Amino acid sequence: MAGARITRALTRRPNLREPFPADFAARLEGQQIRGVARRAKYLLVALESGDVLLMHLGMSGSFRVLRSGREVARRPYYYDVTRLDAHDHVVFEMSNGAVVIFNDPRRFGFMTLLAPAEIDTHRALGRLGPEPLAASFDAAALAAELRRRKTSLKIALLDQRVIAGLGNIYVSEALHRARLSPRRRASTLVTRSGEPRPPLVDLVDAIRQVLKAAIRNQYRTGADDPFLVYDHEGRRCPRRGCGGTIRRIVQGGRSTFYCPVCQK
């Protein structure tokens, strides 16, 4: 999409999680895309008008890219707007021949347009914490967020104001790598003076490791099982010499998987 122009924007329903802006397609069509970026779990597409197309995949959303006039792998037809899937809700036809299609069976994703003045104050972007792979994210930065948190460590790490973009699966994975219990109080990883304790340094390293591995291997739910603990309830802990059994609990309405033997 970057560098190309949106020749046509097609919304095949009036809403996803939320309604599309009334002038959604009109503000997109004819616009050249100046850049595509990410902030936390949000995609930001900068337009030459200064507007930003803000998108979130939700739980089941995904993009695929077709080429108009070319055969598409694993599909028996060329791009044809009359033969889209039932859950192909938004289509962007690009000047370079690409056709970018957003598919979302559960419609938990959303798209909206932000004027330049709205970008830093929008409810989705205004209170996000640091990016976990940014150079500015370290044990000291995480300690500053956790020192007064009386919630469990798992719940604190899922708070997007603490770390931006860290989700349920990779919190479980990072906590296992760091040998930390998801039930532990978050503030216990910080000294009274606000300094990170050694386990918090290990946790920051674990978060970076698990996210880099996920990006490198394109981990996703439904792929060949790449996880150490997530969705492994009842299995033996993979840590050598542990001998524990993976347990599932519910925290904040989300499933947590951990080993009660080696995660303290």
Mean pLDDT by 10 residues, the chain (264 residues): 95 96 96 95 96 94 78 49 86 92 95 91 88 94 95 97 92 98 98 97 97 80 75 96 97 97 98
**Cα distance from N-terminal residue to C-terminal residue, the chain:** 46
* pLDDT at residue 254, rounded to an integer: 95
Residue whose C-alpha is closest to residue 207's, from 238, 167, 239, 247: 167
**Would you say 258 and 174 are in contact if contact means Cβ atoms under 8 Å apart?**
no
* pLDDT at residue 67, rounded to an integer: 76
H or E segment to which residue 200 belongs: helix 198-217
**Would you say 155 and 139 are in contact if contact means Cβ atoms under 8 Å apart?**
no
* CATH 1.10.8.50 correct for 139-258: yes
**Helices 198-217 and 139-146 sit at what angle, rounded to 10 degrees?**
110
* pLDDT at residue 73, rounded to an integer: 46
Instruction: Identify the bridge partners of residue 46 per DSSP, sorted by sequence position.
Output: 35, 52
Domain locations in the chain? Answer: 6-118, 139-258
* pLDDT at residue 23, rounded to an integer: 94
Q: How is domain 6-118 classified at the CATH fold level?
A: N-terminal domain of MutM-like DNA repair proteins (3.20.190)
* pLDDT at residue 209, rounded to an integer: 95
Q: How far apart are CA 232 and CA 226, in angstroms?
A: 11
Per CATH, 6-118 and 139-258 having the same topology is answered: no
* pLDDT at residue 76, rounded to an integer: 41
* pLDDT at residue 72, rounded to an integer: 44
